[in-house]
Amino acid sequence: MEIIKRKLPVFFIILSLTLSIILMVPAALFAQEEETTEEEIVEPEPEPEELIFDTKLPKIQAKEGETFSFNFDVAYKPGDEPFGIEEGKSEKTFDITVDYPTGWIAAVASGSTEAPAINLKFNSTESLRLVAIPLITQQPGEYDFKVTFNSAVEGDTLEGSIEFTAVAPPTYEINLTTKTGMLSTELTSGKDNHYKLIVTNNSSTSVENISLSSTEPEGWQVSFDKDKIESMEADEKIEIDVTINPPEKTIAGDYMLTFGASSENSNDSFDLRVTVETPTIWGIVGIGIIVVVIIGVAVIFARLGRR
Amino acid sequence: MSEDNNIIIAKDLSKKYNEHLVVDNLNLAIKKGEIFGLLGPNGAGKSTFILMAMGLTEPSSGSINVAGFNSTRQPLEVKRITGYLPEKVGFYEDMSAKGNLTYTAELNNIPYREIPKKVDEVLEIVTLTKNKNQLVKTLSKGMKQRLGIADVLIKDPRLVFFDEPTEGLDLKVANQILQTILDLNKQKNITFLLSSHQLNLMQKVCPRVGILSRGKLIGEGTVENLGRNLFGGGKYRIELELEKVTDGLIEKLKKLDKVVNINKVDNQLQVICDKDIRQDISRLIAAEDILMTRMDMKQDALEEIYLKYFKEE
Amino acid sequence: MRSILTVYRKELTDHFSSNKFLVLLALIYIAGLSSTYVALQNIRESASGLGKYVFLYLFTTGGDVLPSFITFISFFIPIIGIIFGFDAINSEKNSGNLSRLLSQPIYRDSVINGKFLAGITTLSIIIASIVFIISGIGLFSIGVPPTSEEILRIFFFIFICIFYGGFWMGLSILFSVIMEKTAASILTAIAIWIFLMFFLPIIANAIANGIAPLENASVADQIRNFNIGQGILRISPSTLFAESIAILLVPTARLFQPTLLNIVQTPPQNPLSLGQSLIQVWPQLVVIVALAIICFAISYIIFMRQEIRST
């Protein structure tokens, strides 16, 4: 729905323009016929020299980091007395300048070539493109671009321009990772192991209501020092202390835990490979058993063997 | 039952292995304190007799008592006082002499404290003290035989069965063994039953022998008496080979002192007598003016018995 | 009584001094430790999906290269049993020790009882020690103590191993009583073992496929095929043993499962209680124990009635 809402005005503009062109062409023809008939009567207004710009989409929106591309048509009408055109020539050269906001770079291109200047034939329409590239992550908002055609003929004041608007929507990105950046760790079963996570708001705007979650093997206890972040400014980093408690009877070995952070617009998660170490007590008991058995066998040997 | 004098009493003792009679209706009594030789060729039933006496094999019929105990029904009592040295005595080769004897001592219920002393004592008797800790596999055959004696002495036996005590030993070692037997008999008053086919060796130590042939006891008594019984009496046999034999000569010989009998075969004479009368005989023959080509005297009655009974089998 | 103890101690000393004991012990320790290593690798890798009876996986988990401990042990127990029994009586006879031994004031059965007990003790020491060592290693590296039920299962496992070994020992002692030559008795025992271990499965398979062919078979026929094959295999004590220890050490296992020994792959089922597991394999256990007793009893009777001959 949102898209349609946004595009509706554009649509109307296009519709009305097309309608007006369709309606005006016969009218103009009529007018001409009338003029020829009425020429002798009324001194006709001299046809002015002019540049006519036309575009279907003067305002577009693109995802963050994407190049904006505005298509437009330009037509040059020499009028009755084109300024500074030699006899027999039927084109005029214009310099193209583009005004763009900081943080952008923009240029007019024809096909795939950048065009700082252009020759426009009389009464023909040229399809051009304004390419605008955001150089940095843009704050959400509207950015205006203006393409101006200036006659390259000295003394000529002929000039035309068209304006475009690029709309940068707000971006939402939160990142969750470990403080160390390592995606594996070692834990001891049966006790609280502390571990640090980092939440980063890489959005272009502040983000509200970030909740932290975890998926852990059955019986494990995982808790965060805060499992909800009220609000985070753009580029803010928050350290989360997570407490992982594998149950007493966890088999030593590798386990996968998944941590996630999610807000309304964005979420992130990662898998942490956890190697559970044996609690020392069982290690000692285990070694104790082995030692006792080996000593036992050795004693039997010593007492019974005849070596 | 004359238990006072006899340590072994066998009555109508028979043993069949698969219908084959190995011991046939044997009656035998052995006195306390004697060395009795049970003689006979291999397969005569000597070992089977010993096994029955030890209670290791049941008789098919008849009974055998050792020291008043029925060997078949009270084998443990018999074994407690009886030592048995099988023909092929075996020891645990990977154990020391001492280890083997200790094991025997333990099996005889000798209190653990007394075992080392007892072992030393019996090794001393058979002069193996030096070899005490040697593994049995390093001992010579004679040493093993002596170890065997030590092994039976562990239990302080009243009676010892010794199967083929001199088999496979050289004469010197065999004599040592026999001497040990004599000493033990004298010093500890142990009754010995020696089974053997080596009659000449047994003769030296056994005042009394029994002769077993095909399971039957064909003779029993002192060697002297056996000879007498078997050959019509006489302790010595003097064989003469003469130029000619006249009746007059035989009559004269018969009148000599101690002559029991005279047998004549062609021109050979066998004079059976109780005394060495070779001088008298030669004098007599010289007086008769008969040429004598040969004169032998045989005292070895056992050898004769052996030849008579066993060689023909 | 003392005479049994004396024979027992002497035989035990013999076993512990023998090279065959050292070789067997080393073999079993190496097999046990390496299979435990593999099992631990697998357990650590899939630690989270193992459920309640982790400790038992130590014994039942194998790898691609090495089989599990229970596979090893079912292979080695018959060998231990045979090796510690095949020359029990005939070597004594041949060495001339038997008649000397029997002329001592002891009951004849002391000899065979003492020897059997010593063999069983040796077997028990070998098996129990490696099982305990594996448990120690497991405790050390898994970090989870076994539950009391697991401990009970492990003890039952050791007992079954001992009785199974007792069967083979009884059998080889029987041959040592009947046969004069030690070579004959060991070869006979090993021939029987090889037959039961390697040829019976082939025969069972062939018969089962003959009666209920597997090609285009319905599920019912496949089950029939399996039942016939398994029925034939159950003649063999090794099958009974394999079934019993699989059921005992894998609480989730049920008897009717074509692949019993490869447990980790089968879908998890609810574990049975020890009592239920035991009930499942009760017939197997009874037969193993009975076979051990029967084998020993036959050799006992024959030995007691045997004539001691002079040569």
Binned average pLDDT, 10 residues per bin, chain B of 313 residues: 74 88 90 90 86 90 92 91 88 92 93 94 92 92 90 93 87 89 92 86 84 84 71 71 83 81 80 81 84 78 63 49
Structural domains in chain A (count): 3
The closest CB to that of B76, out of C14, C101, C105, belongs to: C105
Quick check: is B78 in a domain?
Answer: yes
Range of the domain at A83: 47-168
Residues from chain B contacting residue C105 (CB–CB below 8 Å): 76-77, 79-80, 107-109, 155
* Shortest CA distance from C101: residue in chain B: B104
**Cα separations in angstroms, A86 against A75, A83, A89, A94:** 19, 9, 6, 15
Residues from chain B contacting residue C309 (CB–CB below 8 Å): 17, 51, 57
CATH number of the domain encompassing residue A76: 2.60.40.10
Helix, coil or strand: residue C25: helix
Q: What is the pLDDT of residue C123?
A: 95
Q: Are residues B288 and B210 in the same domain?
A: no
Quick check: is A291 in a domain?
Answer: no
Are B161 and B53 contacting, i.e. CB atoms less than 8 angstroms apart? yes
Q: Would you state the structure tokens that stand for residue A165, as one six-digit string?
A: 């608007």
Q: Alpha-carbon distance B154 to B188, whole Å?
A: 13
Q: Are residues B178 and B256 in the same domain?
A: no
Q: Are residues A179 and A275 in the same domain?
A: yes
Position with higher pLDDT, B235 vs A211? A211
Chosen for mutation from C142, C150, C158, C264 (greatest number of chain A CBs closer than 10 Å) is C142
Query: What number is the average pLDDT over the span A133-153?
Result: 83
Helix, coil or strand: residue A107: strand
Q: Alpha-carbon distance C142 to C158, whole Å?
A: 21
Chains touching B (at least 3 CB pairs under 8 A) are: A, C
Contact B93 C95 (CB under 8 A): yes
Judged by a CB distance cut-off of 8 A, whether residue C131 touches chain A is no
Judged by a CB distance cut-off of 8 A, whether residue C104 touches chain A is no
Query: What number is the average pLDDT over the span A177-187?
Result: 87
Residue type, C45: E
Chains touching A (at least 3 CB pairs under 8 A) are: B, C
- Cross-strand partners of A239: A198
Nearest-Cα distance to chain B for C32, in Å, is 31
Instruction: Express as a percent the part of chain A with pLDDT over 90.
Output: 8
Q: Which residue from A147, A52, A151, A49 is spatially nearest to A93, judged by alpha carbons?
A: A151
The closest CB to that of C132, out of A255, A282, A289, belongs to: A289
Judged by a CB distance cut-off of 8 A, whether residue C272 touches chain A is no
Quick check: is A298 in a domain?
Answer: no
Q: Are residues B144 and B248 in the same domain?
A: no
Q: Which residue from B248, B249, B256, B294 is spatially nearest to B276, judged by alpha carbons?
A: B256
Q: What is the pLDDT of residue A9?
A: 63
Q: A134-148, A155-169, C255-269, C276-290: which has the highest mean pLDDT?
A: C276-290
Q: What is the pLDDT of residue B228?
A: 67
Q: Which residue from B251, B260, B258 is spatially nearest to B284, judged by alpha carbons?
A: B251
Residues of A at the B interface (Cβ-Cβ below 8 Å)?
A: 306
- The CB-side HSE value for C304 (13 A sphere, CA atoms) comes to 11
Q: Are residues A184 and A162 in the same domain?
A: no
Chains touching C (at least 3 CB pairs under 8 A) are: A, B
pLDDT band at A33 (very low <50, low <70, confident <90, very high): low
Q: Alpha-carbon distance C80 to C128, whole Å?
A: 14
Contact A251 C129 (CB under 8 A): no
- Counted across chains B and C, CB pairs separated by less than 8 A come out at 82
Query: What number is the average pLDDT over the span A28-53?
Result: 64
Chosen for mutation from A297, A301, A307 (greatest number of chain C CBs closer than 10 Å) is A297
Q: Alpha-carbon distance C284 to C286, whole Å?
A: 5
Contact C48 A255 (CB under 8 A): yes
Residues from chain C contacting residue B17 (CB–CB below 8 Å): 307, 309
Taking the CB of residue C51, how many other CB atoms lie within 10 A of it? 14
Q: Alpha-carbon distance B122 to B179, whole Å?
A: 16
The backbone torsions φ and ψ at residue A70, rounded to the nearest 5 degrees and listed phi first, read -105, 125
Per-residue pLDDT in tens (0 to 9) along chain C, 311 residues: 788 999 999 999 999 989 999 999 999 999 999 999 999 888 887 766 666 778 888 898 888 888 999 999 999 999 999 999 999 999 999 988 998 899 999 998 999 999 999 999 999 999 999 999 999 998 888 888 888 999 999 999 999 999 999 999 999 999 999 999 999 999 999 999 999 999 999 999 999 988 888 888 777 787 888 888 888 999 999 999 998 998 898 887 776 555 444 444 445 567 788 888 888 889 999 999 999 999 999 999 999 988 776 54
Q: What is the pLDDT of residue B297?
A: 79
Average pLDDT, chain C: 88
Q: Are residues B55 and B132 in the same domain?
A: yes
Nearest-Cα distance to chain C for B235, in Å, is 35
* Shortest CA distance from B88: residue in chain C: C96
Range of the domain at B213: 6-226
Quick check: is B35 in a domain?
Answer: yes
Q: Are residues A134 and A189 in the same domain?
A: no
Q: Are residues B125 and B196 in the same domain?
A: yes
Are B37 and B211 contacting, i.e. CB atoms less than 8 angstroms apart? no
End-to-end CA distance of chain A: 94
Helix, coil or strand: residue A105: strand
Q: Are residues A20 and A97 in the same domain?
A: no
The closest CB to that of B86, out of C10, C100, C106, belongs to: C100
Ranges A32-36, A220-224, B60-64, C91-95: which has the least confidence: A32-36
Q: What is the pLDDT of residue A48?
A: 79
Residues from chain A contacting residue C12 (CB–CB below 8 Å): 304
Residues from chain C contacting residue B84 (CB–CB below 8 Å): 99-100, 103
Q: What is the pLDDT of residue A156?
A: 80
Q: Are residues A132 and A179 in the same domain?
A: no
Q: Are residues B174 and B218 in the same domain?
A: yes
CATH number of the domain encompassing residue B279: 3.30.70.100
CATH number of the domain encompassing residue B50: 3.40.50.300
Q: Would you state the structure tokens that stand for residue C200, as one six-digit string?
A: 């019976």
Contact B56 C10 (CB under 8 A): no
Q: Would you state the structure tokens that stand for residue A160, as one six-digit string?
A: 């035309």
Residue type, A30: F
Nearest-Cα distance to chain A for C220, in Å, is 39
Q: What is the pLDDT of residue C265?
A: 47
pLDDT band at A2 (very low <50, low <70, confident <90, very high): very low
3-state SS of B117-134 is HHHHHHHHHCCCHHHCCC
Q: Are residues A7 and A61 in the same domain?
A: no
Q: Are residues A51 and A159 in the same domain?
A: yes
